[in-house]
Structure 1
Amino acid sequence: MNFKRSTTSMAIALMALSLVSMTSIQQEAFAQPQGISITATTEKAGNSITVTGTTASDYTDVTFSVWSPNQNLVAAWQDTPDNDGNFGTTFTIGSNWTEDGYYTIVVKQGTSSTYEVKVGVEVTNGMTLRSTSVTEGNLVTDIFTPNENNAATDAGLFLDPVIIENGSTMFEVTGMTDRVSQDITLKVTAPNGNVIKVDQISPRLDGNFAAEITVGGSLWKQDGLYTVTVRQFDDPKYTASTEVDILDGVVVPEFGTIAAMILAVAIISIIAISAKSRLSIIPRY
């Protein structure tokens, strides 16, 4: 009799444990997606910018705002996501887009920073200069994230010292990452904080990446330190930056390079003077 009661109690306990486990699995399996992602597309010598995106929330409208390089508002729009969370609009470059440089497109949904994303698009002389497609966002649609970084094992992204030639109108950015399936976003920021260049780099199979950056022109008219930032994920391990000194539209070597050159010349001069001095004190017979 006691054995039957014990068996019944164990069965009830197992059923309860199974229900708890199933509930936990369902909660994990159906974890709610969150975030927003956008893609800005332009055509070579075009006069429009198409912005499309996807959001995890279709309950509220998405607002768009476009800001000039000097942070003036030049365009705004609002769109309602469809049942799948997709939205989009096209901006025509108008007469108030008078500045040359990178225009920042801000897409927001609500007040949470999780639902706010920005992307930069270059406009010169009232048109887009090249065909581009730039994607930014933090949309998480599944509990399983293949690109999720493991802080214990991932090496991250590294920048090499910038390759500089004094007086050159270009410099090269090189580095390495342990994630080769994801493109790297490169951004150059002028001394006054304006973004003057945005590009995407595809790592090679060995993880190395490189990009040549040409300086000069109206966007590079400021003298000072320009910040080059590369980013592959939101993780700080996959973000790196360096500075390049630009003077009169050309690259200036770092102080360490100049100091090394001066030191080398000084050493050569000392050796030459010492050798001449030794020759002058040799006794003559």
Structure 2
Amino acid sequence: MTAVGTLTISSAYAQACVGCYEPDAGRKAAQQMLLMDMPVSVWTDNTDYSHGDKITVHGKVANVSGMPITVTVVNPLNSVVTIAQINPENDGSFKTILNTDGELWKHDGTYTIKVNYGSASKSNKVLVELSGATSGSSNNCASSEIYLKGNYCVPYTITGGMVTGASINSNDNAIIVRINASEDGTLTLNPDKSILDGIFMVLVDGEEWDDVEISDNQVTVNFLAGAQKIEVIGTFVIPEFGTIAVMILAVAIISIIAVSAKSKLSIMPRY
């Protein structure tokens, strides 16, 4: 995760210790000592998001004084997207979830999440990237379904993590699922064939993945802790802009052709 400021501890720090030789107790102690030296630390569960995803912000203040923490988000145009106040826990930790739905979140680019705890010296910030199609959840889908732009719902189950968003890649005939994998787990998708058909390949974080089971139009992916993006590729996927948009475009083209033909006939000489 990209973090800005000398006071920031990011999730990348924790990931750097995965697989190292330091015992868990020693690693946790080192992290706690680092946090104690920071008036305010802040990090997010990911670095890249699609519009409509939820951003989970974590952090810690060194000395709890009973004041609320102010969280401010600024978009790539330097406009304030949202301001919120949250109270830290007794141990100084805090957490909030930002929903990237809405007009002010529509711009692609770098968003700055600023955290302040009463004074300029007790502040920090972290940067995240927003891009791509709107994804996330929808009231039209059940809790056990992934929402895709165009009001499509795909049944799924997951262990070892959580789904943070999904989108369609019509260029590669794929559904992209973003996850936050806290441990090794499995993701099972069972899309209707009108949404995705002919599943034959899966990529995990951009690499072809073999630990996969495909049965008819159901796919089960065994992922490792830390995985962030799973792409399920088939021979067909619904257009990203939806069937209705295709019909409107077709009607518009036919109307233009008809008008053009009528115009040519009207200027032809009569004998």
Regarding TM over 0.5, the answer is: no
Please state which structure has a larger fraction of its residues in helix.
1
Where on the TM-score scale, by shorter chain, does this alignment land: which range? 0.3 to 0.5
Please state which structure has a larger fraction of its residues in strand.
2
Structure label with greater radius of gyration: 1
